Amino acid sequence: MRIIYFIAAAALLAGCRSEKSVQHDGVRPVKCVVARSTRYVDRDFAGLSTADDATNMAFKISGQVKSIPVSKGQAVRRGELLAELDPRDVQLQVEAARASFEQARSRLDRARRLLAHDAISRQEAEAAQTDYTQARSIYENATDLLADTRITAPFDGVVERTYADAFQRVSSGQTIVRIVNPVSTTVEFTAPESMLPQLSLPTTRFSVTFDRYRGVRFEAAMKSFARTSSDASGFPVSLRLTDVDTVRYSVSPGMTCVIRVETVESDREAVSVPITAIYAPAQGGTYVWTVGGDDRVVRRAVTLGEMFGRDEVIVLSGVEAGDTVVAAGVDRLADGEKVRVLER
C-alpha cells in the first residue's frame, strides 16, 4: 500500500510536468530509462551514534555524600575522583579492626614462641592462628570499605550527568554519576522484520553518512542486532565504523546519520525502475509502459517488490533487464501510441 501512495504522488507530479512538453505534431515526447538487473539493493535508514563506553557509577555502601567535584559536561581522566562519601564512620570501623588485628598478631607471635619451647599445647597455638586469620580478614574488609567511599573514573570520558548532591544521603547501588566516552565508533538504527535474515550475511554491506559530514561515507560492520522486538517497531541494530579517522572526523554520541544497507537480491531475475515509471490506474493493477523498436508504447502488467534507494522499486515480473521503460507522464499514454524518446 505504501508503494501505491508513492506511485500516485509521483504520477501526479510527472503528469503536471508533461503538460508543458506536448508537441504540435501529435507525437508525445517521453523520458525513458533502461530497466537494469538488480544484484545489490540499497536501503537507507535514519540512525544515531551511541557511546562505545558508558557506565553509571554508584557506591557499594550507603552513606552521606561528602563531595561531587565534577559537573555535567566535564572531561575526566581515568582514575580521577568523581564522588566521595563521608568516611568517618568507616574509618572508625577500620581503626577498631586494626586494633583487633594487631592484638591477634601479637598473641600468635607469643603462641609460636611458647610452642617452640613446648610451653603450650599445639591446639592453643592453632586457636591463636585461627583468631589471627579472622582478625586479618575483618581488617582487610574494613580497609576495602574505606576505599569504597570514593568513586573514580574507569576510563577517560565526559560526565554526562550527576544524580546526587553534596550532603545527600544515598544507598548502595544508587547511581551517582554517569560517564561516557566522547569518541564514538558505534551507530544504531532500527531494521524491519523483512531484513532480519540478511543482516548477518557476509554479502550484506553497511555504510554511514553523518549529517555533520555530508558527502563523506564511512564503511561499517555488523556489531550486534536483536532478534526480538519489544514494541513491534523494528529490530535494533548496532554497527561499528571500520575506517573512520577520529582525528579528522570527530564522531560523538548523539550525532544523527543515514545508514545505507546494501543486500544481495535473492531473486536474480528481478530488475529495478524508478517509482515514477509505475502506472497504477484507478481501475486497479500496476503497469509500466515499454517502448518498442517502432517507438510505440506497450502496457505491461508488473509485480512489484520493495522500494529501495531514493526512488527505485524492484520489479519481480513483467519487465526484463534492458527493456526501455517510460519514466514520466505514464498516466497520459495509451496502448500502441507512438512516442518520441527525449532521453534514455
Q: Rg of the Cα trace of the chain?
A: 36
The number of domains in the chain is: 3
Question: Residue 288 in contact with residue 301, Cβ under 8 Å?
Answer: no
CATH number at residue 171: 2.40.50.100
Same-domain status, 62 and 163: yes
CATH number at residue 306: 2.40.420.20
Residue 214: predicted pLDDT: 87
174 compared with 37, residue with greater pLDDT: 174
Domain end position, chosen among 163, 179, 195: 179
Same-domain status, 65 and 123: yes
Residue 11: predicted pLDDT: 47
Residue 97: predicted pLDDT: 93
- The angle subtended at Cα 112 by Cα 107 and Cα 117, nearest 5°, is 125
Domain end position, chosen among 162, 179, 196: 179
Residue 22: predicted pLDDT: 40
Domain end position, chosen among 247, 263, 279: 263
Is the confidence at residue 229, as pLDDT, over 70? yes
Kind and range of the H or E element at 67? Answer: strand 63-67
| Residue-wise pLDDT tens digits, 233-278 | 788 999 999 988 877 888 988 999 999 998 876 545 678 888 999 9
Same-domain status, 152 and 199: no
Same-domain status, 48 and 192: yes
d(CA 45, CA 314): 18
Average pLDDT over the chain, rounded to whole?
A: 86
Confidence of residue 304 (pLDDT cuts 50, 70, 90): confident
Same-domain status, 75 and 110: yes
Confidence of residue 325 (pLDDT cuts 50, 70, 90): very high
Residue 3: predicted pLDDT: 53
Average pLDDT value for residue range 202-225 = 91
Cα dihedral angle (331, 334, 336, 339), rounded to 10 degrees? -60
CATH number at residue 204: 2.40.30.170
The residue segments making up the domain with residue 256 are 44-52+183-263
Residue 344: predicted pLDDT: 63
Is the confidence at residue 1, as pLDDT, over 90? no
Same-domain status, 78 and 160: yes
Same-domain status, 325 and 303: yes
Same-domain status, 221 and 149: no
Question: Residue 267 in contact with residue 316, Cβ under 8 Å?
Answer: yes
Same-domain status, 72 and 26: no
Is the confidence at residue 17, as pLDDT, over 50? no
Portion of the chain with pLDDT greater than 90, in percent: 51
Same-domain status, 219 and 174: no
Average pLDDT value for residue range 212-237 = 85
**Is the pTM for the entire model greater than 0.85?**
no
Same-domain status, 165 and 197: no
d(CA 177, CA 160): 8
Same-domain status, 173 and 59: yes
Average pLDDT value for residue range 169-177 = 94
Is the confidence at residue 298, as pLDDT, over 50? yes
| Residue-wise pLDDT tens digits, 78-127 | 999 999 999 998 899 899 999 999 999 999 999 999 988 888 898 998 99
Confidence of residue 178 (pLDDT cuts 50, 70, 90): very high
